Structure 1
Amino acid sequence: MASIFTKIINREIPAHIVAEDENHIAFLDINPLVIGHTLAVPKREVDYIYDLSDEEFVNLQLFAKKVAGAVKKAIPCKRIGEAVIGLEVPHTHIHLIPIKEMDDMNFSRPKLTPSQEELAEAAEKIKAAF
């Protein structure tokens, strides 16, 4: 069965997509830690990041680096934090999180529930920063 991320890739469910190339896609987390929290995902569905080929792994990181640059330009922050957890969705993904302080990357704290309008506004800012 396809992961929720594969359904986003296939445009079966909506998402706030901020970047895409032939092998990757980036979209906003709908329950972010902070506004601008973005996921960088390979289009090929692989559960565990270290099961990617070396080439896929490097290319995903390079894609994430480009996305992180746009997020940093668009969302006020000190830097972009990166996390790979991968337990909640069985499809490799990199969390790119605008951070002002360490606690901004605390996955134990309650997630935000932004409106679709807030997500759309953040997505447009990130897309414009490319």
Structure 2
Amino acid sequence: MTIFSKIIAGEIPSYAVAENEHFFAFLDIFPLVEGHVLVVPKVEVDKLFDLPDDYLSRMLLFAKPIARAIEEVFPCNRCGLSVVGLEVPHAHLHLIPINSADDLNFTRGKLSVTPEDLRRAQTKIVEALA
């Protein structure tokens, strides 16, 4: 069972921003920038492109309003999308507020954030989705 499956099951706490029967979205606790969200399928599949076609398309449709909410509440030119998938063997998308392509550079240092920072970002996104 991956750490993402444990988060989805509620065994590990998270800063959830959206959920439906197929997907779960929550803040990355080691974000590249404030507002960095992970979108994860509830089915445990290692590689994103191993998901069935209909599931993959529904995942992007699930992510779309979250990306719009991120653009609304964090100062950025757009919400970037990245698929890396090397750290956790569970398919996932990164939704990241960006102002340049370098903002998607995963080799950079991560932000040091507090639980209060994460709760504040979570509240902003959840309210924008409402």
TM-score by length of structure 1 reads: 0.97
| Kept after mapping to 2: 8 A contact 1:36/1:122 | yes
* Counterpart residue number, 1:111: 110
Amino acid at match of 1:106: N
Superposition RMSD in Å: 0.7
* Counterpart residue number, 1:19: 18
- Counterpart CA distance in 1 for 2:89 and 2:73 is 29
**Map of 1:50-61 to 2, 5 A cutoff?**
50-61=49-60
Gapped runs of 5+ residues in structure 2? none
Count matched residues: 129
Gapped runs of 5+ residues in structure 1? none
| Kept after mapping to 2: 8 A contact 1:23/1:44 | yes
Does 1:10 pair with 2:9? yes
3-state SS of 1:129 partner: helix
* Counterpart residue number, 2:45: 46
- Counterpart CA distance in 1 for 2:117 and 2:47 is 31
Residue deviations 1:72-101 (CA, integer Å, cap 9, x gap): 112111101100010100000000000122
Residue deviations 1:7-37 (CA, integer Å, cap 9, x gap): 1100001000001111101000000000000
3-state SS of 1:50 partner: helix
Q: Which portions of structure 1, spanning 4 or more consecutive aligned residues, are displaced by more than 6 angstroms?
A: none
3-state SS of 2:55 partner: helix
User: Identity over the aligned pairs, expressed in percent?
Assistant: 53
